[in-house]
C-alpha cells in the first residue's frame, strides 16, 4: 500500500475507504451462511479484511500526524477512524468466535443479526460518502444516523429473544455456552456500528 501524499491527501476518502473495507468484511460474513450451514473457511477470510483495515488505519495515522492542516480536528479524525476500525475488529472477533466454538450450524437468530450488521455497514459507507459535504447532506446524514440507531434497537430485540429462548429451551450446556458467546459477539459488532454513527453525529454537531 503506497504512502498518501501530504499535498494530495483526501482526508474524507480515508473514511470512505475504511467504511468500504468494513462493508466488504460484513458481506464476507454473510456469504459464510448458506442453507443453514456456516462455511468456517470462508468466514475466516474476514481476517484478510481486518489486516487491510489495520494497514489503512496506521497509514492514516501517519498521514494525520504529518499534516499541517486537517479539515476537522485531529482527535475527531482519529476517533472516527478508530470507531470504524473497531467494527472491522468486531467482525474478526465474530469469525474467530465461530471458529473457536466449532459452530457450523446456523440459527435464525445468527442470520438475523448478520443481516442487520450488513445493513448497518452499508449505511456507514453511505454516511462516509456524504460526510465530505456534510452541510449540504445534513438531512440525509441525520436520517441515516437515525436508521443505524433503529437497526441497533432491532438487533437488541433479536439478541434478547434468542438468548432467552436459548436458556428457556436448550438443555445442552455446551450448546448454550457456544451460542450465548456468539450472540454476544454479534450484538457487540452491531453496537460498534452504532458507535460510528454517533461519533460522526457528534463531529457534525460540534462543527455546525
CA 109/CA 112 separation, integer angstroms: 5
On the 0-12 / 13-18 / 19+ scale of CB atoms within 10 A, 125 is buried
* Contact present, 180 and 104 (Cβ < 8 Å): no
Q: Please report which helix (H) or strand (E) contains residue 25, including its range.
A: helix 11-31
Best CA proximity match to 78, nearest among 137, 133, 30, 18: 18
pLDDT in tens, 41-95: 999 999 999 999 999 999 999 988 888 788 888 899 999 999 999 999 999 999 9
Instruction: Give yes or no for residue 32 having a pLDDT over 70.
Output: yes
Task: Give residue limits of the domains in the chain.
Answer: 11-207
141-190 pLDDT per residue, tens: 999 999 999 999 999 999 999 999 999 999 999 999 999 999 999 999 99
State whether residue 103 is helix, strand or coil. Answer: coil
Q: Name the CATH topology of 11-207.
A: Methane Monooxygenase Hydroxylase; Chain G, domain 1 (1.20.58)
Which residues does 15 contact at the CB level (< 8 Å), separation at least 6? 80, 81, 84, 128, 131
Task: Report which of residues 203 and 83 the model is more confident about.
Answer: 83
Is 4's pLDDT higher than 70? no
Residue 186 sits at the vertex; the CA angle it makes with 181 and 188, to the nearest 5 degrees, is 95
Amino acid at each position: 500500500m503506497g504512502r498518501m501524499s501530504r499535498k494530495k491527501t483526501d482526508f474524507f476518502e480515508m473514511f470512505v475507504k475504511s467504511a468500504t473495507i468494513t462493508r466488504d468484511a460484513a458481506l464476507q460474513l454473510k456469504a459464510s451462511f448458506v442453507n443453514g450451514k456456516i462455511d468456517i473457511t470462508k468466514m475466516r477470510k474476514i481476517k484478510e479484511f481486518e489486516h487491510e483495515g489495520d494497514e489503512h488505519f496506521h497509514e492514516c495515522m501517519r498521514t494525520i500526524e504529518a499534516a499541517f492542516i486537517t479539515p476537522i480536528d485531529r482527535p475527531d479524525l482519529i476517533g472516527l477512524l478508530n470507531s470504524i476500525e473497531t467494527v472491522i475488529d468486531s467482525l474478526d472477533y465474530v469469525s474467530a468466535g465461530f471458529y473457536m466454538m466449532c459452530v457450523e450450524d446456523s440459527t435464525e437468530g445468527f442470520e438475523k443479526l448478520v443481516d442487520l450488521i450488513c445493513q448497518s455497514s452499508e449505511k456507514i459507507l453511505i454516511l462516509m460518502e456524504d460526510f465530505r459535504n456534510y452541510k449540504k447532506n445534513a438531512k440525509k446524514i441525520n436520517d441515516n444516523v437515525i436508521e443505524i440507531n433503529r437497526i441497533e434497537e432491532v438487533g437488541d430485540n433479536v439478541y434478547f429473544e434468542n438468548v432467552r429462548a436459548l436458556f428457556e429451551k436448550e438443555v445442552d450446556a455446551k450448546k448454550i455456552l457456544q451460542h450465548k458467546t456468539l450472540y454476544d459477539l454479534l450484538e457487540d459488532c452491531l453496537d460498534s456500528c452504532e458507535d460510528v454513527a454517533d461519533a460522526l453525529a457528534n463531529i457534525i454537531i460540534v462543527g455546525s
